[in-house]
Amino acid sequence: MLRIALAKGRLQEEFLKLIYGDSKERRENRSLFLKDEVRNWEIILPKATDVAKYLQMGMADVGIVGKDVLEEEGTYFKSPAQFSFGTCQMVIAGPKFEQKKITDGIRVATKYPKVAQRIFKEKGIHARIIYLQGSVELAVATQVADVIVDIVETGKTLKENGLTIYEKLFDVNAKLALGNNISDEKREAVERLIDEINIKINKN
């Protein structure tokens, strides 16, 4: 049995739709465990930011989670595959009409404090990181922060809150993260999982 920790929410939706198609019954199911006896999978659904914990504790063999979360929570996991779903971009964004200068002391609101710290350190800028759990655009609108480091997909949230992209940092996709110490048998099951995802992506 291969235990897969699949990030609950958007990636859960996209992955399950890809593998099983669209079913109302599945969408309405609130269970956090899904069994697939044909493929010999048990899928568990932690919050995206907790996927790394389940892998670390040996409670899952493999994780499916965004690159954004892996860069923040789990850079130490091997990642043998990335997929073309869950696609967005990590960016620095700020007010559209009153462009902020990226200089020492800049206040950066983000759900990704480690990523933001690293990005500004690489630029040689001393940034003040303000860690928030969500709705980070609001921090700029209320002048709690000068800019944000966040993911952008359609750009609608930025636009509707008076922000624009200052710099694109990296592309984000769903990635596979491998737990430590998995057996050869499970490695083969992981290979089959990667192949099935890629075949289904190419068919769509």
Ligand X SMILES: O=P(O)(O)OC[C@H]1O[C@H](OP(=O)(O)OP(=O)(O)O)[C@H](O)[C@@H]1O
Ligand Y SMILES: Nc1ncnc2c1ncn2[C@@H]1O[C@H](COP(=O)(O)OP(=O)(O)OP(=O)(O)O)[C@@H](O)[C@H]1O
Contact 12, 85 (CB under 8 A): no
27, 29, 35, 153: which one binds ligand X (CB under 6 A): 153
Binding at 155: pick from ligand X, ligand Y, none (beta carbon under 5-8 Å per type) = ligand X
Applying the rule CB under 6 A, the residues between 28 and 67 that interact with ligand X are none
Angle at 74 between CA 172 and CA 184, to 5 degrees: 100
Give how many residues touch ligand X by CB under 6 A.
11
Binding at 103: pick from ligand X, ligand Y, none (beta carbon under 5-8 Å per type) = none
| 148 binds ligand Y, rule: CB under 6 A | no
46, 63, 74, 86: which one binds ligand Y (CB under 6 A): 86
Q: Please identify, among the stretches 51-59, 63-71, 119-127, 138-146, the one whose residues bind ligand Y according to the rule CB under 6 A.
A: 63-71
What minimum distance in Å lies between the beta carbon of 172 and ligand Y?
5
Identify the CA nearest to 44 among candidates 32, 28, 59. Answer: 32
Does the CA dihedral 70-75-79-84 come out positive or negative? positive
Residue nearer to ligand Y on the CB measure, 84 or 99: 84
Binding at 127: pick from ligand Y, ligand X, none (beta carbon under 5-8 Å per type) = none
| 155 binds ligand X, rule: CB under 6 A | yes
What does DSSP say about strands 33-36 and 128-131: parallel, antiparallel, or unpaired? Answer: unpaired
| 174 binds ligand X, rule: CB under 6 A | no
